[in-house]
């Protein structure tokens, strides 16, 4: 896989498909492969560029504090280094938090914005949940196993565990096949989640925006829907009724159909 020097750090990425560029920003503790269930469909219409954020995958892991604004600046530097003037930008959870900063600070870089399971600013509930993940990661000294034991149950509904246990196990096996994030990098990245506050920046987002939530998500729940949709002028809202925090895994078919409809509506003829 290729790497690009984005400012002062090297970022790893994977590229598939053809058409207008679509940048996929990973969620917490994930590398670019977290969008494995989306890329095959998206790549039929777009050039999909899946990133490893700083601290994940094969990208650099500098020993410095991270913020969601820093991560957004990394993506902007990556685009400049890669010769990408602008792109559709999509992210789930931390990826969405990063995307909103990117669209606010670098508006000319973003053709459309997709914010999935995102939130404008961390409240005490989100901070408490993420803090518990940090505590378990430290106790296990293993980020991958922490994600499977602690984060998965917040991301998937009880019904999925009960009705499709083999599928949940396959997701765990897939995660174990990926490079494990170092503990210190996870702490820095999750600290960025805890400190996230882009509320005052949302009015600066000019790109057409799709906002989605899972109905059963209690971490970044629909309690944030009004705050996002009222602050972002050109936006549409969709709720996945049978999903929790991670519709990209829980109902990939519905997620892909809904998100592709939005992306194609805001792309040139080549992506339609």
**pLDDT one-digit tens code per residue, 90-108:** 999 999 999 999 999 999 9
Q: What is the mean pLDDT of the chain?
A: 97
> Would you say residue 48 lies in a domain?
yes
> Would you say residue 162 lies in a domain?
no
Cα distance between residue 71 and residue 7, in whole Å? 12
More confident: 170 or 269? 170
How much is the average pLDDT of 139-143?
98
Q: Which pLDDT does position 268 carry in this prediction?
A: 84
> Would you say residue 67 lies in a domain?
yes
> Would you say residue 262 lies in a domain?
yes
Given strand 21-25, what is the order of strands in its sheet?
Answer: 3-6, 9-16, 47-51, 21-25, 87-92, 110-116, 209-214, 235-240
The first and second tokens of residue 186, run together, are 């996870």
Q: Which pLDDT does position 272 carry in this prediction?
A: 43
> Would you say residue 179 lies in a domain?
no
**pLDDT one-digit tens code per residue, 50-62:** 999 999 999 999 9
- Report in angstroms the alpha-carbon separations of 20 from 184, 263, 266: 36, 10, 11
Q: Which pLDDT does position 270 carry in this prediction?
A: 42
How does residue 1 score in pLDDT terms, banded at 50, 70 and 90?
low
> Would you say residue 187 lies in a domain?
no
> Would you say residue 258 lies in a domain?
yes
CATH number at residue 38: 3.40.50.1820
Cα distance between residue 136 and residue 119, in whole Å? 23
Total domains present in the chain: 1
**pLDDT one-digit tens code per residue, 151-200:** 999 999 999 999 999 999 999 999 999 999 999 999 999 999 999 999 99
Spacing of C-alpha 9 from chain mean position: 20
Range of the domain at 10: 3-122+196-271
> Would you say residue 202 lies in a domain?
yes
């Amino acid at each position: 896989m290729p790497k690009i020097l984005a400012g002062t750090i090297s970022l790893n990425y994977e590229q598939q498909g053809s058409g207008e560029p679509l940048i996929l920003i990973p969620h917490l503790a994930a590398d670019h492969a977290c969008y494995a269930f989306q890329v095959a469909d998206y790549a039929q219409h777009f050039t999909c560029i899946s990133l490893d954020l700083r601290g994940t995958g094969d990208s650099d892991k500098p020993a410095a504090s991270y913020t969601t604004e820093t991560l957004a600046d990394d993506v902007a530097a990556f685009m400049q280094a890669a010769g990408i003037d602008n792109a559709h930008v999509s992210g789930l959870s931390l990826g969405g938090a990063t995307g909103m900063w990117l669209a606010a600070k670098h508006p000319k870089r973003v053709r459309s914005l997709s914010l999935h399971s995102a939130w404008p600013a961390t409240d005490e509930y989100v901070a408490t949940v993420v803090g518990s993940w940090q505590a378990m990661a430290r106790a296990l000294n293993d980020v991958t196993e922490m994600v499977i034991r602690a984060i998965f149950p917040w991301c998937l509904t009880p019904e999925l565990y009960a009705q499709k246990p083999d599928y949940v196990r396959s997701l765990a096996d897939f995660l174990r096949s990926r490079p494990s994030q170092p503990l210190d990098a996870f702490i820095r990245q999750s600290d960025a989640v805890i400190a996230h506050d882009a509320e005052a920046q949302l009015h600066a987002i000019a790109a057409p925006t799709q906002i989605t939530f899972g109905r059963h998500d209690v971490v970044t729940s629909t309690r944030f829907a009004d705050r996002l949709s009222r602050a972002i002028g050109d936006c549409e809202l969709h709720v996945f009724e049978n999903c929790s925090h991670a519709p990209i895994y829980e109902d990939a078919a519905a997620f892909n159909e809904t998100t592709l409809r939005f992306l194609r509506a805001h792309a040139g003829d080549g992506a339609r």
